[in-house]
Amino acid sequence: MSDDAVLATRGAAGPASGAGIVSLRGVGKTFGATVALQDVSLEIAEGGFVSLLGPSGCGKSTLLRVVGDLVTPSHGAVEVAGKRASEARDDRDYGMVFQAATLFDWRTIRRNVELPLEVMGWPRARRRERAEQMLALVGLAEFADHRPPQLSGGMQQRVAIARALAFEPRLLLMDEPFGALDEITRERLNDELLAVWQRTQTTVLFVTHSIPEAVFLSSSVVVMSARPGRVVAEIPVDLPHPRTVETRESARYFALVTEVREALRSAGA
Amino acid sequence: MSVPARLRSWFPPLVTALAVLALWELGVRALGIRPILLPPPSAIATTAVDDAARLLSAVWVTGRTALAGFVLGCGAGFVAAVAGARWATLRQGLSVTGVMFGAVPIVATAPIFNLWFGALSPWSDIAVVALVVCFPTLIGTLTGLASAPAASHELLATYGAAPRVVLTKLAIPASLPFVFGALRVAAALSVIAAVVAEFFGGFRDSAGFFIKTLMANADYTGAWATVAGLCAFGLLLYGAVGLAERAALPRPTRQG
């Protein structure tokens, strides 16, 4: 079976309803006396690529973790695919990619990609087949039998993406996945991530503090302010696909980057 | 590993050991130190060869005790730590209890175990060894089980992994370098503990009893030879742990 055949089945699942796949209403989170998030309301459409952008400490990672049911909100309601976040987690609706690749050094690259499938009880042959498809998707098929320390930081992050998408989650949560990489590698991975996103149709929620990265990748940029973390603007990005080097050099791209920067500044960030 | 590379890795420790022995031999002779205080290595080696049969059997009797205690004690420490990682309430009690047991001196436990198991039972000495090695294994494993980064735990949480799965797929594999570190310490401790236990009524053919008797008869060179035999056994056990570690933890060469 080709990659396309496998990945096409995902699109067939389709959106469950007209509402967004993620729906936050009045979400707040306090850690002791610190207000990390205040009154965040947000709708994310299925198939979208939404960036959470803001300065350090604005609660964007906390917001991502609230969506992923890794942090319980102090106030408000979180709905994912029409369910409570905890139910969505039990239904394996989430793929997660962190700033660190968090690959397990004692496993080969192939078995790292198989990890979620093992946890979910897939039979061995299917796991192996899927891991190979996913590694091909991120261009690392020939590294299947290597171990994580043998790969560069950028390659490790591609493995993490392959692992996150292996079980076809409906929502891919990415917490500054390219934050630790150099600019050149980061731009290349941005291109690759967009290609993967277009092929898999997975909804992506992407945390970053890079304005160019947010604009280049997203269908919508959510701008947040710090202390307390609030949503100050939601800027739709209408750049055409496929996005390429020309996109990065287009007038519309610069206009959007400026618009996002202005929004951040007016938020006092 | 190619043969020359293997030789190279053996070369430095071998040279160091030979240098220490040479220095010892020359120092004892040059300074005229009496053999009763420190016999030269050549005399120890001669005694060891002359008395090889008795020496080997004594070291084996003690080594057997050390090995049995090592397996039981380390096994118990590991299992207790894993159980502690699985059930949080257990873990809080474990370190405290572990330290309490770890702080009990062998000189106190040896006579007590003799009383419990009988002075002529091998189990009294094995129990002393097990008690001594249990503590470092418990602490090493507890540290190792907690060593996986929070992000790795979050990753498994997003898969909806059950606690048992987190343990087998993440915590235990991540703990192994720490566990093997603890086992290396335990390997050396097990031999010490076995000998000390034998001082308090071990078998008449054990190395501990042997050393005690030889000392009483002022045969210090014989005692040193027995100690050397025990050192060799300790090294063997240590080496076995190292081999097991290499088999369990493949270390890839880094690139780039």
The residue of chain B with its CA nearest to that of A116 is B159
Total domains, chain A: 2
Establish if A98 belongs to a structural domain: no
Establish if B129 belongs to a structural domain: yes
Residue-wise pLDDT tens digits, B72-90: 999 999 999 999 888 878 8
Same domain, A176 and A237: yes
Least confident piece of the model among A78-87, B201-210, B214-223: B201-210
Which is higher by pLDDT, B91 or B14?
B14
How many C-beta neighbours within 10 Å does residue B2 have? 7
On the 0-12 / 13-18 / 19+ scale of CB atoms within 10 A, B11 is: exposed
Which pLDDT belongs to residue B239?
A: 92
Min distance A136 CA to chain B CA atoms (Å): 22
Establish if A30 belongs to a structural domain: yes
Contacts with A170 (C-beta within 8 Å, 6 or more apart), sequence order: A13, A21, A46, A81, A93, A202, A203
Same domain, A195 and A78: yes
Same domain, A81 and A188: yes
Mark yes or no for CB contact A102/B176 under 8 Å.
no
Q: What are the chain A neighbours of B160 within 8 Å (beta carbons)? A: 89-90, 92, 119
Which pLDDT belongs to residue B80?
A: 93
Which pLDDT belongs to residue B155?
A: 92
Same domain, A126 and A192: no
Min distance A89 CA to chain B CA atoms (Å): 6
Q: What are the chain B neighbours of A147 within 8 Å (beta carbons)? A: 250, 252
Establish if A119 belongs to a structural domain: yes
- B158, B176, B249: residue with CB nearest A96: B158
Contacts with B8 (C-beta within 8 Å, 6 or more apart), sequence order: none
Are B197 and B125 in contact by the 8 Å Cβ rule? The answer is yes
Establish if A99 belongs to a structural domain: no
Which residues of B sit within 8 Å Cβ distance of A? 149, 151-152, 154-161, 165, 169-170, 173-174, 176, 249-250, 252-256
Last-in-domain residue among A119, A135, A168: A168
Residue-wise pLDDT tens digits, B17-68: 999 999 999 999 999 888 888 899 999 999 989 888 888 999 999 999 999 9
Q: What are the chain A neighbours of B155 within 8 Å (beta carbons)? A: 96, 98, 102
Establish if B230 belongs to a structural domain: yes
Which pLDDT belongs to residue A1?
A: 41
Mutant choice from A64, A69, A70 vs B, greatest count of B C-beta within 10 A: A70
Nearest to residue B214, comparing CAs of B226, B203, B202?
B226
Residue span of the structural domain in which A134 resides: 104-168
Is A72 within 8 Å of chain B by CB? Answer: no
Q: What is the DSSP letter of B40?
A: -
The stretch B1-10 carries a mean pLDDT of 69
Total domains, chain B: 1
The residue of chain B with its CA nearest to that of A160 is B155
Min distance A231 CA to chain B CA atoms (Å): 25
Q: How many Cβ pairs closer than 8 A exist between chain A and B?
A: 60
Same domain, A162 and A61: no
Same domain, A114 and A225: no
Last-in-domain residue among A168, A201, A221: A168
Which pLDDT belongs to residue B34?
A: 86
- A99, A147, A152: residue with CB nearest B256: A152
Establish if A65 belongs to a structural domain: yes
* HEC string for A66-107: HHCCCCCCCEEEEEECCEEHHHHHHCCCEEEECCCCCCCCCC
Same domain, A175 and A53: yes
CATH number at residue B138: 1.10.3720.10
Establish if A145 belongs to a structural domain: yes
Same domain, A180 and A251: yes
Mark yes or no for CB contact B254/A115 under 8 Å.
no
Is A100 within 8 Å of chain B by CB? Answer: yes
Min distance B178 CA to chain A CA atoms (Å): 14
Which pLDDT belongs to residue A19?
A: 62
Same domain, A259 and A141: no
B2 falls in which pLDDT band (50, 70, 90)?
Answer: low
DSSP H/E element including A231: strand A230-236
Mark yes or no for CB contact A150/B155 under 8 Å.
no
| For residue A242, cis peptide bond before it (omega within 30 degrees of 0) | yes
B254 falls in which pLDDT band (50, 70, 90)?
Answer: very low
Same domain, A176 and A219: yes
Mean pLDDT of chain B: 88
Dist. CA A105–CA A146, nearest whole Å: 10
Mark yes or no for CB contact A149/B157 under 8 Å.
no
Same domain, A81 and A175: yes
Last-in-domain residue among A144, A168, A192: A168
Which pLDDT belongs to residue A2?
A: 44
Are A171 and A93 in contact by the 8 Å Cβ rule? The answer is yes
Dist. CA A249–CA A258, nearest whole Å: 13
Dist. CA A95–CA A168, nearest whole Å: 8
Whether the pLDDT of residue B111 is over 90: the answer is no
Is A89 within 8 Å of chain B by CB? Answer: yes
Establish if A118 belongs to a structural domain: yes
What six digits make up the tokens of A224? 């947040």
Is A147 within 8 Å of chain B by CB? Answer: yes
Min distance B189 CA to chain A CA atoms (Å): 29
Mark yes or no for CB contact B155/A98 under 8 Å.
yes
Establish if A223 belongs to a structural domain: yes
Residue-wise pLDDT tens digits, B139-193: 999 999 999 999 999 999 988 899 999 999 999 999 999 999 999 999 999 999 9
Min distance A133 CA to chain B CA atoms (Å): 20
Which pLDDT belongs to residue A66?
A: 94
A:180-219 residues touching chain B, CB 8 A cutoff:
none
CATH number at residue A16: 3.40.50.300
Establish if B20 belongs to a structural domain: no
Q: What are the chain A neighbours of B252 within 8 Å (beta carbons)? A: 146-147, 149-150
Establish if B32 belongs to a structural domain: no
Residue-wise pLDDT tens digits, B226-243: 999 999 999 999 999 999
Establish if B19 belongs to a structural domain: no
Q: Which residues of chain A have pLDDT under 70?
A: 1-19, 268-269
Min distance A121 CA to chain B CA atoms (Å): 11
Establish if B195 belongs to a structural domain: yes
Given the structure tokens 């097991």, which residue do they identify?
Answer: B244
Which pLDDT belongs to residue A176?
A: 92
Given the structure tokens 């690529």, which residue do they identify?
Answer: A49
Same domain, A175 and A82: yes
